[in-house]
């Protein structure tokens, strides 16, 4: 019995995270240890009492509890019964309301850049796991001169969201302009790189479309699955993958080849260059601070990424590229430090994991802060417009150029995020998250509650239009409604 209690306590405290299978295994072990002890207690009770207790337990298990009770039951990650009940017979949340979404406006016609203008060079740098609030407050940027410069001289979207909290989900959406469930995911790769990827999805992707428009495309990847054939970032004419297996290559291997390519950019040809950095990333040991509180080591790794961005800015500031280069810096997702009971990324869709920096600097950019809720899904249409290339109707994102030019504009596409069988949708400052595995819904008013502490799902007037919008949007756009929900990397 003491061993069983110790096992259970360890399950709840040490593994306080979203690993249901691990919890289930530990809970089963606990049950095997506790069971015989309880059985002896049961024999002592009168027969009628045992029958009554058994019947009450069965009745409680069969009734699907309301949403707020479900949330309480899942409050302890080590409790197995609600996972089993949700998977077996709890119904999905339902929303009885008219959905709160706009009618999608078509993409504007392509406009070729002025013939006398030098051909654009667009550099897209995605940095792993940079949550927006790690750098968007001026005092956070004291040690980040490159970010400081981008905020000062560039356009900053202050409410940008990633389409998921996992790299492959997020970058696949970025390069396709479509959300995760609008793509087809199937096992791809060999050995320890084999996982679900949109390798066979026929949707047009950014690099291929740019190549058709005569743009030179080049990529340096710090992760194996950024190779063209995995379908996350496909179609680049020039690619250098500096990672092997599941490793995350350091910026020392990524940025120097990118700079080399930019210095050699042909004068008369437009070019698109993409690189993904994996500083910061757990275990946060690539910054100057290698030992200490996780958040401090994490910030030290962001400072490391900043030093590389400084080198990149120096190259973009040379006469050959000044006036031609547009730099876009963003992150594939954020990073959690226990805000909602999880750490690192990929497990939830709360703001610490999906609110990301989105900065534009250089060609055509005047300094401004834009509070409209942009998404990484908008980058492919934005980059296509930069080169005067048409945006295919399949792309759900919307070009950000009206906002970058300071024009009055409005998003008509819904903003969504997905992962771990969860889906989230924003309408203005209101957000709904539906968890299809746990069969629960949460709703937040981010204006009043940016930390998502006060769940408003009990308020039907607030939640139902958001939930109905989420349901209708995914029903209309999901490529294969059953398949994509399983992504769990």
Residue 307 beta carbon to Zn ion: minimum distance, rounded to whole angstroms: 20
Tell whether omega for the bond before 8 is within 30 degrees of 0, i.e. cis.
Answer: no
Residues in the chain: 489
Using DSSP's 3-state secondary structure scheme, residue 10 falls into helix
C-alpha span between 220 and 173 (Å, rounded):
18
How far apart are CB 419 and Zn ion at their closest, in Å? Answer: 11
Looking at beta carbons only, is 179 or 398 nearer to Zn ion?
179
Rounded Cα distance between 437 and 417, Å, is 16
Which residues of this chain interact with Zn ion, rule CB under 5 A? 128, 167, 332
Of 226, 178, 177, the residue nearest 199 (C-alpha): 226
**For residues 274-313, b (16+ Cβ closer than 10 Å) or e, as one string?**
bbbbbbbbbebebbebeeeeeeebbbbbbbbbbbbbeebb
Smallest gap from Cβ 368 to Zn ion, in A, equals 28
Nearest one of 306, 358, 295, 308 to 332, comparing CA atoms: 358
Q: CB 356 → Zn ion: shortest distance, Å?
A: 10
Mapped onto helix, strand or coil, the DSSP state of residue 31 is helix
DSSP label at 108?
P
Which residue has the closest beta carbon to Zn ion? 167
Q: Count of CB atoms within 10 A of residue 258's CB?
A: 24
Which ranges of 357-448 does DSSP label H, i.e. alpha helix? 379-386, 401-404
Minimum separation from the CB atom of position 194 to Zn ion (A):
19
Q: How far is the CB of 276 from Zn ion (least distance, A)?
A: 8
Q: Compute the least distance from the CB of residue 279 to Zn ion, in Å.
A: 11
* Closest to 158 measured CA to CA, from 328, 299, 358: 358
């Amino acid at each position: 019995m003491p061993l069983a209690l110790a096992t259970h306590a360890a399950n709840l405290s040490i593994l306080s995270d979203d690993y249901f299978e691990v919890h289930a295994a530990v809970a089963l072990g606990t049950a095997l240890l506790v069971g015989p002890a309880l059985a002896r207690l049961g024999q002592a009770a009168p027969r009628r009492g045992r029958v009554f207790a058994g019947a009450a337990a069965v009745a409680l298990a069969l009734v699907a509890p309301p949403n707020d009770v479900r949330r309480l039951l899942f409050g302890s990650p080590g409790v197995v019964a609600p996972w089993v009940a949700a998977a077996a017979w709890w119904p999905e949340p339902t929303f009885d309301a008219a959905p709160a979404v706009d009618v999608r406006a078509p993409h504007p016609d392509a406009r070729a850049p002025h013939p006398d203008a030098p051909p654009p060079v667009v550099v897209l740098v995605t940095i792993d796991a940079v949550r927006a609030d790690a750098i968007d407050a001026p005092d956070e940027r004291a040690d980040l001169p490159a970010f400081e410069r981008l905020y000062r001289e560039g356009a900053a979207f202050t409410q940008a969201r990633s389409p998921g909290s996992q790299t492959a989900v997020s970058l696949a959406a970025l390069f396709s302009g479509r959300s995760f469930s609008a793509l087809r995911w199937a096992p791809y790769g060999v050995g320890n790189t084999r996982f679900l990827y949109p390798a066979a999805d026929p949707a047009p992707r950014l690099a291929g479309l740019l190549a058709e428009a005569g743009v030179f495309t080049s990529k340096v990847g710090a992760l194996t699955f950024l190779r063209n054939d995995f379908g996350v970032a496909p179609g680049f004419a020039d690619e250098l993958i500096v990672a092997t297996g599941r490793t995350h290559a350091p910026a020392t291997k990524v940025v120097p080849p990118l700079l080399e390519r930019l210095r050699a950019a042909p004068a008369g040809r437009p070019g698109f260059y993409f690189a993904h950095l994996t500083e910061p990333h757990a275990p946060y040991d690539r910054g100057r601070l290698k030992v200490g509180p996780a958040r401090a080591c994490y910030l030290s790794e962001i400072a490391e990424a900043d030093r590389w961005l400084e080198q990149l800015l120096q190259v973009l500031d040379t006469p050959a590229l000044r006036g031609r280069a547009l730099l876009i810096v963003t992150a594939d997702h954020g990073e959690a430090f226990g805000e909602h009971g999880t750490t690192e990324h990929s497990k939830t869709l709360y703001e610490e994991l999906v609110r990301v920096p989105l900065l534009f600097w250089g060609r055509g950019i005047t300094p401004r802060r834009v509070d409209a809720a942009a998404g990484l899904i908008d980058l492919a249409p934005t980059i296509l417009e930069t080169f005067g290339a048409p945006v295919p109707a399949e792309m759900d994102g919307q070009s950000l150029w009206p906002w970058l030019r300071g024009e009055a504009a409005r998003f008509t596409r819904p903003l969504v995020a997905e992962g771990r069988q969860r889906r989230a949708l924003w309408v203005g400052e209101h957000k709904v998250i539906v968890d299809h595995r746990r069969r629960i819904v949460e709703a937040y008013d981010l204006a009043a509650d940016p930390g998502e502490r006060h769940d408003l799902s009990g308020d039907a007037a607030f939640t139902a239009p958001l939930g109905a919008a989420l349901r209708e949007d995914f029903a209309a756009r999901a490529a294969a409604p059953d398949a994509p929900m399983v992504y769990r990397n």
